[in-house]
Chain A
Amino acid sequence: MSAPVTLITGTRKGIGRHLAEYYCDRGHIVYGCSRGDPGWSRENYKHFVADVSNEGEVKPIFSAIRREHGRLDNLLNNAGIASMNHSILTPMDTVKKIMETNVIGSFLFCREAAKLMKANKYGRIVNFSTVAVPLKLEGEAAYVASKSAVEGLTNVLSREFASFGVTVNVVGPVPIETDLIRAVPKEKIEALVARQAIKRLGQMEDVVNVVDFFLKRESEFITGQSLYLGGV
């Protein structure tokens, strides 16, 4: 069997970078993107500078994958942004940016990936939500709205893509120490962790474990599911 072809969004840093390096080391051919230059490299890794919500920048990624491999096995829609702010204090521009990156970006990648995956009658898509959705976290209205949309999108696509042999699932991490939560006050994070069944921060390995599970060939009967870490 040839090496799996895996596309991961938001690979410059944080969870996306970790996933990209992890799957490269596991022998995948990994394609990644982010708005900035990654500043790291790996054999078997190819980076595109692209904003996930920009159709014109995204399409060439899929053209390249099709030209170079003729198929795509896995898509991880990791790119995402957040804003911690009371809704009353949240500017419209912030709301738009969050929706564009998290919702429109995920939609666009799912749509284009499914076209490639359908041809091969095989595919695994993992979208990224957060425990802030089930916890109804105050101070993250726009972010939670966007990730709720990602979950809704996942639910419908799991049905639309089922006949293509493509599964679509969601992983919902708890707080993990990346730039995404660096600006959030410590007490806020502690209060959030206190609401988990297992009260600790998440680790990259916790996310990897769930993604690995969704990507397994044997997971062909698992779709449209949201799996939250920490017992939320």
Chain B
Amino acid sequence: MQQEIVELIIKTAKELGDEELSLSQELNADTQLFGKDGVLDSMGLVTLIIAVEQAIEDRYEVSVALADEKALSQARSPYRSVTRLAEYAAGQMQDT
């Protein structure tokens, strides 16, 4: 499941394109998304999160809110990397 979501996130980012996200590189599982060495600014993160929530809803028919208190805390943030975000999303999906 988590691996599937990693791929979904990468695909979603690709579909949004460099312009929407102002990305200079393609994402992979280890890409640091946000925070120190992150590839996204805060608007890019918001754009990606909305798109990932919608992609998850389309694929799995569950509605998740990937909003998190720890967004800005470096160490525990689910927005740190693609893998962390996938892990977090999988957890949210289990809870709903």
Contact = CB atoms under 8 A, between A and B. Distances in A.
Nearest to A163: B43
Given A63-B57, A163-B43, A115 B63 contact: no
Interface of A: 55-56, 59-60, 62-63, 66, 111, 115, 118-119, 163
**Main SS of chain A's interface residues?**
helix
B65 interface: yes
Interface residues of B, number: 10
A55 B50 contact: no
Contacts of A163: 43
**Main SS of chain B's interface residues?**
helix
B63 A59 contact: yes
Given A59-B63, A60-B63, A115 B50 contact: yes
A28 to B, nearest CB: 23
A166 to B, nearest CB: 13
Interface of B: 43, 47, 50, 53-54, 57, 63, 65, 67, 96
A119 B47 CA distance: 9
A63 B63 contact: yes
A65 to B, nearest CB: 12
A227 to B, nearest CB: 28
User: Which residue, A60, A115, A118, has most C-beta atoms of chain B within 10 A?
Assistant: A115
Given A63-B57, A163-B43, A118 B50 contact: yes
